[in-house]
Structure 1
């Protein structure tokens, strides 16, 4: 979901694993209030683990966000029309394009939630899908983001260093290996933001985790994990 930015400002976008977001979660008032508060911090967000084929849950969340915002500008972008190679992924990535209004710079966004059971194989397949996303979006400016389970027991440093996304110097990892993107006692950089292209290197100089459980003093079981990227428009 996306909110247009004021010209010239730095926009914060997020990738958020809401952990099984469906109708039952929308009926929990405390959870919905927390989610609205979190999403209002950002100009755009990739939401992962939506479990509702009717789309009623995401529609309800959007309505609450708009009701709480100053202007009714949030919109939901559904699955992209680019056909990813589904056989390579438990949850196929979504690719879509965005254009910065002020500068006219176009970029591709590739959102992914990698299966913890096959992290290395899916990350290798993601390298190929990244090229397909560039073609679909019509630009070499690319942002790859989401819960990649790219650390700790799911993907060791030795295995991570063998990834083409790591060995190819054109890809810059903005969530570093020593960062903690979890809301659990274990310190792991599962969620990642990876950029490609000189424009993206300059316009997205950093990304960082946001520990909203500490910010809002939350029960860890209520919501999921979130990482933030800073986009200079």
Structure 2
């Protein structure tokens, strides 16, 4: 059988080494703090989940003492066999009264760099103090000439205010655009965007849903919950910007069913979280089929020779 049939595959291997895609994840870690960090089996699952991601955005991190997150990153780096595999940045504690959380970004150093960050000032003149946990916004570099930078905007809404907070993310979009002049953004996290918290008839009033240019990659029929007796699309990924949308690998946006992937019972999975992570993959520059190196072209030419079985 001629190797000519293998040309497309070989071409991709030449131009796109393993790991060329960039996977971005969002995960409600359900009250992640020292108690979970001290459970070896739970941490093992967290590490397996996060090692799949080049950038992971964690919500509901309640690490008031600041010890659980470094422990998780250390465990992740030991798993990778590289003490510098992942870095991280955390928001300050966010929230009202005694209930406070952090947003945490963990990112693979070989794939991206953190360029800038800031906490959204929740003081819009028409809608002050909308967010129970205002977004902590981070700008990253990407290995993509067409999409060299990308802004990630996480949100964990208060369930009873989900409609209002999701709508107000449009004000955050305007704020980010005014600050950095960037169009390419991903909004992601536990929006509580289903199952009674957002009425179907209200979607028409939510600007993040209705304004042109926003693309909801996790649909309303998705299930992002671990419990077998629930089916809710709480967690979402929303992209803005033509270059960002063009970089999305079709069909890659999904919830990651980690109990099934790792053979966990529902009870074992719930020790980790009651949410699935949601994720999306982006192409890197090589998937734009840039010219191959001279050596690569030689290999490609050899692949086109009609070899036959001996």
Q: Which residue is 2:21 aligned to?
A: 10
Which of 169, 177, 188 matches 1:134? 177
Structure 1, unpaired ranges of 5+? 1-5
The structural deviation recorded for 1:47 is 0.6
Name the CA distance, whole Å, in 2 between partners of 1:203 and 1:84: 30
CA contact (8 A) 1:207 1:230 kept: yes
Name the CA distance, whole Å, in 2 between partners of 1:25 and 1:62: 14
CA contact (8 A) 1:16 1:227 kept: yes
Give the TM-score of the pair, scaled to structure 2.
0.70
CA RMSD in angstroms, aligned pairs only: 1.8
Correspondence list, 1:1-233, <5 A: 9-71=20-82, 72-79=84-91, 80-85=117-122, 87-103=129-145, 105-184=148-227, 185-204=229-248, 205=250, 206-218=252-264, 219-224=268-273, 225=275, 226-233=277-284
Q: Which residue is 2:295 aligned to?
A: none
Name the CA distance, whole Å, in 1 between partners of 2:269 and 2:53: 21
The structural deviation recorded for 1:7 is 9.3
The structural deviation recorded for 1:188 is 1.1
The structural deviation recorded for 1:156 is 2.0
Per-residue CA deviation, residues 126-179 of structure 1 (Å, 9 max, x unaligned), is: 110122123334311111000000012111221123211111121000001111
The structural deviation recorded for 1:9 is 1.4
Which structure has the bigger radius of gyration? 2
The structural deviation recorded for 1:66 is 0.3
- The 1:64/1:220 distance shift into structure 2, 3 A limit, reads closer
Q: In terms of mean alpha carbon deviation, does 55-64 or 79-88 score higher?
A: 79-88
Give the TM-score of the pair, scaled to structure 1.
0.91
- The 1:96/1:134 distance shift into structure 2, 3 A limit, reads farther
